[in-house]
Amino acid sequence: MSTPKFVGTETEFGIAVTGPTEVNPVLASSMVVGAYRVPDDIRWDHTEEHPLRDARGYDVPDAHEPPSDDELGLANTVLTNGARFYVDHAHPEYSSPECSNARDLVIWDKAGERILADAARRAEATLPEGSRVLIHKNNTDGKGAAYGTHENYLVPRSVPFGRLTRQLLPFFVTRPIYTGAGRIGSEIDDRVDYQLTQRADFFEVEIGLETTLKRPLMNTRDEPHADPEHYRRLHVINGDANLCEVATFAKVGTMMIVLDLIEDEALDEVPTLARPVEAFHTVSHDLDCSVPLLLEDGRRMTALEIQGFYLEAAKRYLKDRDLDPVTADVLARWEALLTTAEADPRELAGQVDWATKLDLLEGYRQRHGLDWHHDRLKMVDLQYHDVRADKGLYQRLAERGRVERLVAESEIAHAVDHPPEDTRAWFRGECLRRFRGQIVAAGWDSLIFDTGGDALQRVPMMEPGRGTRAHVGRLLDEVTSAEELLAELTGG
């Protein structure tokens, strides 16, 4: 029987400042994050982070001690909704709190969009008149640079990494059918006018530790942010930044099901691709989702057929189980998306980003008689991703009911300030809200308190399913100070 899965996302947002004063991206990002910080701000605890630890069983040597955020002058804060908001690689980055299911992930991922829009407004108020801070939830600047949207899944350490790699690669290569954010042009083929994903062209190898150079389809970073004896964190870097809620829901939900299949050894021999990286590029450039991909055994299958293989395996696996509503919805939507794509992939408009944006671009192009390389069309492409409610084209489509919504705006507004209640994020967020003045640092797996004693006190949070409202809500309601909380937790 598979173990409960937990998921979070990390999104680097595109940023630009226009107006009378030139502002470089690092400073702009620091201004945006800094504008959202509050008094008694809490720093991020890097103590247990090991980005050079490889899942293949070794640590990559690093000759230099990485500079701290303080040394770099980069803003970094922890939010009461359990998320981390900071500057990474000259981009403002929002790392969602841990979620136990795909629907919650949609809510707290959307909360990140609202936080970025609010932070940009605050930062703009500090700049000279006429300045604008533009934030885009996308993955490329259209000039050869890419930035990431990463998914993180906690899986049991007992599942061999080699099995994860072998059985996930065909899934990753073919899921852009419903996860792609779409973009004009290509980094590697001038004949491509439009493609499914923003990220595919930037991937060069199958497996590796890098995230910014020689990007791998399967990232090997082994940094669980949880009990390392029991968990590994699958760090997925090949996905796009999605605005469509159905796309985010399907992206995360299907992965959680496939991970259960792999853990329970419920997958038959997968259709192994002969050249996965090349196939990833091919899938992204194939708007009809019909090009056959070469398998290792000499057969050929389309991306739709490979996704169908995983879907059928999931249906067999879940057939006689009592499914929770979210998993049941994921399975039904997965099948519906593939069925629609088989009939006509462009009919996915309103549910997945690449098709929704393509519909906009085609209409604009035809009305104004533009070719695919016209700058005005590229501006429409970019404006789709603007997080401002009154300017972003996706946001305006959502307001008009032209994209399917899965969650209520009231749920998103609540998630801006409050954490999920059924993961350890609840303890982190609530402690920040109640005892902010006595917490000096926070990380995914611990909080560090300073209650005025001789030493700081670290509270470990190594189990992602503990620290929930059901688990510690009564305790937090009963104590009146951080000292009382620590005494109860330590038996002192």
Cα 423 to chain centroid, rounded: 17
User: With 0-12 CB in 10 A as exposed, 13-18 as middle and 19+ as buried, what is 48?
Assistant: middle
pLDDT tens digits for range 53-96: 556 554 555 444 444 444 444 688 999 999 999 999 889 999 99
Cα(358)–Cα(373) distance, rounded to whole angstroms?
A: 14
Question: Does residue 14 belong to any structural domain of this protein?
Answer: yes
Structure-block tokens of residue 308 = 């169908």
Percent of the chain with pLDDT strictly greater than 70: 93
Stretch (H or E) spanning 149: strand 149-156
Interval 153-177: pLDDT, tens: 999 999 999 999 999 999 999 999 9
**CA-based nearest residue to 55, from 278, 232, 182, 177:** 232
What whole-number distance in Å separates Cα of residue 457 and Cα of residue 138? 40
* DSSP label of 386: B
DSSP letter string, 4-62: P-EEEEEEEPEEEEESSS---HHHHHHHHHHHT--TT--EE--TT--TTEETTTEEPP-
pLDDT (tens digit per residue) in 355-369? 999 999 999 999 999
- Tell me if 320 is assigned to some domain: yes
Q: Quick one: CA torsion of 286, 287, 288, 291, rounded to 10 degrees?
A: 0
For residues 246-254, give the mean pLDDT: 98
- CATH number of the domain bearing residue 179: 3.30.590
Joined tokens for residue 214: 């020689």
Nearest to 233 by CA among 65, 462, 423, 459: 462
Q: Which domain holds residue 54?
A: 6-413
User: Do the domain assignments include residue 429?
Assistant: no
Question: In 164-176, which positions are buried (b, 16+ CB within 10 angstroms) versus exposed (e)?
Answer: bbbbbbbbbbbbb
pLDDT at residue 239, rounded to an integer: 97
Q: Across the chain, what does the average pLDDT equal?
A: 92
The set of catalytic residues is 88
Residue showing tokens 């996704």: 307
The answer to the question of residue 112 being in a domain is yes
CA pair distance 295, 351, nearest whole angstrom: 30
Question: What is the C-alpha to C-alpha distance for residues 301 and 286, in angstroms, rounded to an integer?
Answer: 14
pLDDT of residue 55: 60
DSSP result, 303-369: HHHHHHHHHHHHHHHHTTS---HHHHHHHHHHHHHHHHHHH-GGGGTTTSHHHHHHHHHHHHHHHHT
Structural domain contains residue 259: yes
Half-sphere exposure of 124 (CA within 13 A, CB side): 19
Q: What is the C-alpha to C-alpha distance for residues 195 and 182, in angstroms, rounded to an integer? A: 6
Q: What are phi and psi of 96, to 5 degrees?
A: -65, 160
Packed helices 482-490 and 425-435: angle between N→C axes, nearest 10 degrees: 140
CB atoms closer than 10 angstroms to residue 157: 16
pLDDT band at 51 (very low <50, low <70, confident <90, very high): low
3-state secondary structure of 127: coil
In a domain, 490, yes or no: no
pLDDT given for residue 63 in this prediction: 43
Instruction: State the total domains in the chain.
Output: 1
- Stated as kind and residue range, the H or E segment containing 122 is helix 102-124
- Under 8 Å between Cβ of 67 and 74: no
Please check whether residue 466 lies inside any domain of the structure.
Answer: no
- Give the model's pLDDT for residue 66: 47
Whether 442 maps to a domain, the answer reads no
- Residue 85 CB neighbours (<10 A): 23
Q: What mean pLDDT is predicted for residues 337-363?
A: 98
Section 5-33 average pLDDT: 94
Q: How many helices (H) and strands (E) does the chain have?
A: 16, 20
Element (H, E) at 95: strand 91-95
Structure tokens at 284: 């992204």
Tokens of 19: 């107006």
pLDDT at 43 over 90: no
Residue 422 near residue 100 (C-beta atoms within 8 A): yes
Q: Enumerate long-range contacts of 318-325, CB under 8 Å, 24 or more apart.
A: 318/257, 324/101
